[in-house]
Structure 1
């Protein structure tokens, strides 16, 4: 891998991490267990490793953006996550900021054409 390719890969991964947090919070409007969330994200065009998703869920819970409890679903005991009130506020705030940044980037791109 060239140095340039590695640098671009790191930048892309940094962008993806921020977007993944938003995607998880947005997806948690409906409660999910880990695998159902992963499948939901994938069906909507965002493929996420289990090794990335599960630590993120635990981190968001420790930040009090998600809550979880054990439930029996489809005959199996699963940890089901849902948005907390703090998570709902963060989701709305981040979505608003995303729209603002997206519009700013669109404006900048149009200026360069």
Structure 2
């Protein structure tokens, strides 16, 4: 297998892996109200790169599921929609964090690390 072929496979697999982790990353930043662009920036600074075209549908889906609350701030020149974990969202996030820790520990064990 050539390096180009391996990189192609790696890129596809990483895309799948990231898709599952972005939700936890986003939820981790919403204990305080944040708007979309601030989330993109904050996550990017921590090495989690998320495109706005991925983020906004995710925020809408989490809000529809009752995990986020939102409010518009029209006091600035440009209105912004702020998102915050709902009480249910906070509870779900705590459960997700614990599951993430268990998965990470299991993966370390499986990989012999």
> What TM-score do the two structures reach when normalised by structure 2?
0.86
Unmatched segments (≥5 aa) in structure 2:
none
Structure 1: segments with no counterpart, 5+ residues: none
- Segment of structure 1 superposing worse, 66-75 or 14-23: 66-75
Query: Which SS does the other structure have where 1:68 is aligned?
Result: strand
2:63 to 61, 64, 67: 61
Aligned residues: 110
Match for residue 95 of structure 2?
93
Q: Once the 2 structures are TM-superposed, how far is the Cα of residue 7 of structure 1 from its aligned partner?
A: 4.3
Look up the match of 1:42: 44
Provide the residue aligned with 1:29 in structure 2. 31
When residues 12 and 22 of structure 1 are mapped into structure 2, their CA distance, relative to the original with a 3 A threshold, is same
Partner Cα distance (2:90, 2:99) in 1: 14
- Report the CA distance between 1:14 and its aligned residue: 1.6
CA RMSD after TM alignment = 1.8
